[in-house]
């Protein structure tokens, strides 16, 4: 093993050193809906963390927009965190949460295809190029730092052009997740059956949760659910800590985007009151596909010690992520939210059955009519602005 690792000795830490970073404790570690007993399952914990796709600053890629920056160092950390959250959703979509990555082992073709979605090229659907240029439509200049909500809105728009993964991306508004709207967006129904059932307005309860908004859902579009939140004014309010940690225990968890102003991290779990995160603040050289069409993935997995920070040091502006591959996963998520989140007196967010009457009508986002398809044509955001009918807002002031 040491001979294999020696090639990358400047980039990674030997597994034994990595494991020593964790304290000797009987506490459970939660990573994206899975638990690990630290004392007896350190190797499994290591394997689980290193399997996550890790996106960092890169340099020497083609200039964004033709004349823009050729590195995102110093400004692209939240975009990289958004890529990591989305990549985890795609792993769950195609390979499952239990899939594991092994260094220098041949991976499924779906894995390589997922990785290629995020290469730093303008023709890759979730590249730094596409995300930065789509951010212009959200009021962010290329090279300007994004907040969690801006990244969520950008991913929602880019997903419209991603036919292979075919995700429905829902970004909540005003700390409120609306079941009716998600069912409307994810349920693929015949035109004759495209009707909404009647249900009681207000917060979810046990009876209408199991019934859902639609009587039946013949086909379900996999859901990426992003919940931007502000959990305090200048720092996180301790009253939200337990509910925040509960989200990492949910099997649908994709972790959270957040960190500190202008310093973003991808949070994947927790140990006690410490959050575990992947840090994008490492600048690596651009990696392209090789002659055989595959990508050398060595620099896309973090084998260094995972970073940890006390949850109370977290900036209050965050975005939670969840993935529901099937309708039953979403129904289960609703039940868990009702049990663990809505029980609090000061709720982290709301889950309601019906679309609030004072909101604008919900219209599922749709791909604009254009003559070409795919991410390569998105050189500006003009063609998307008219299709984005939901109110977009930035939560984190920078």
CB 114 within 8 A of CB 91: yes
End-to-end Cα separation, the chain, in angstroms:
45
* Euclidean distance between CA atoms 143 and 136, whole angstroms: 10
Give me the residue label for tokens 């896309």.
300
Give me the residue label for tokens 């990573």.
31
* Euclidean distance between CA atoms 277 and 307, whole angstroms: 6
Can you tell me whether residue 287 is helix, strand or coil?
coil
* Euclidean distance between CA atoms 394 and 398, whole angstroms: 10
Longest alpha-carbon distance in the chain: 64
DSSP per-residue codes, 301-347: B--SPPEEEEGGGS-SEEEEEEEESSHHHHHHHHHHHHHHTTTSSS-
* Euclidean distance between CA atoms 45 and 49, whole angstroms: 6
Check if 281 is active-site: yes
Size of the chain in residues: 398
Check if 187 is active-site: no
DSSP per-residue codes, 334-389: HHHHHHHTTTSSS-SSEEESSPPTTSPPP----PPP-SS-SGGG-SSSHHHHTT--
Which listed residue (77, 186, 217, 324) is catalytic? 77
Residue 351, class by beta-carbon neighbours within 10 Å (0-12 exposed, 13-18 middle, 19+ buried)?
buried
- Which two three-digit tokens encode residue 290? 């090789």
Give the distance from CA 96 to its chain's centroid. Answer: 15
Check if 355 is active-site: no
Which listed residue (279, 315, 329, 388) is catalytic? 279
Which listed residue (123, 281, 331, 392) is catalytic? 281
Residues forming the active site? 77, 279, 281
């Amino acid at each position: 093993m040491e001979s294999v690792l020696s090639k990358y000795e400047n980039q990674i830490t030997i597994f034994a050193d990595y494991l020593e970073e964790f304290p000797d404790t009987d506490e459970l570690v939660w990573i994206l809906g899975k638990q690990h007993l630290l004392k007896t399952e350190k190797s499994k914990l290591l394997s689980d963390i290193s399997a996550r796709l890790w996106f960092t600053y890169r340099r020497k890629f083609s200039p964004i927009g033709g004349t823009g920056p050729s590195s995102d160092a110093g400004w692209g950390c939240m975009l990289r965190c958004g890529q990591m959250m989305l990549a985890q959703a795609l792993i769950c979509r195609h390979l499952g949460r239990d899939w594991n990555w092994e260094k220098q082992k041949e991976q499924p073709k779906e894995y390589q295809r997922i990785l290629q979605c995020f290469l730093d090229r303008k023709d890759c659907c979730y590249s730094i190029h596409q995300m930065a240029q789509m951010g212009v439509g959200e009021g962010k200049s290329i090279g300007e730092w994004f907040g969690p909500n801006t990244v969520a809105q950008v991913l929602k728009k880019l997903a419209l052009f991603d036919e292979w993964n075919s995700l429905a991306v829902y970004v909540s508004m005003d700390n409120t997740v609306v079941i009716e709207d998600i069912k409307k967006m994810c349920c693929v129904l015949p035109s004759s059956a495209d009707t909404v059932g009647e249900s009681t307005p207000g917060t979810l309860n046990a009876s209408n949760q199991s019934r859902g908004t639609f009587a039946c859902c013949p086909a379900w579009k996999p859901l990426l659910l992003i919940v931007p939140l502000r959990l305090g004014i200048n720092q996180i309010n301790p009253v939200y800590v337990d509910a925040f940690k509960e989200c990492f225990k949910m099997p649908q968890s994709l972790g959270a985007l957040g960190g500190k102003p202008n310093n973003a991290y991808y949070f994947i779990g927790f140990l006690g009151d410490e959050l575990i995160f992947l840090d994008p603040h490492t600048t690596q050289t651009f990696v392209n596909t090789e002659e055989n069409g595959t990508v050398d993935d060595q620099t896309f997995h973090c084998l260094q010690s995972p970073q940890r920070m006390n949850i109370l040091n977290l900036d209050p502006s965050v975005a939670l992520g969840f993935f529901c591959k099937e309708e039953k996963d979403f129904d289960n998520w609703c039940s868990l939210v009702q049990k663990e989140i809505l029980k609090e007196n000061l709720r982290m967010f709301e889950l309601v059955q019906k679309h609030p009457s004072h909101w604008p009508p919900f219209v599922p986002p749709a791909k604009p009519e254009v003559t070409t398809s795919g991410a390569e044509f998105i050189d500006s955001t003009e063609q998307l602005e008219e299709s984005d009918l939901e109110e977009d807002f930035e939560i984190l002031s920078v």
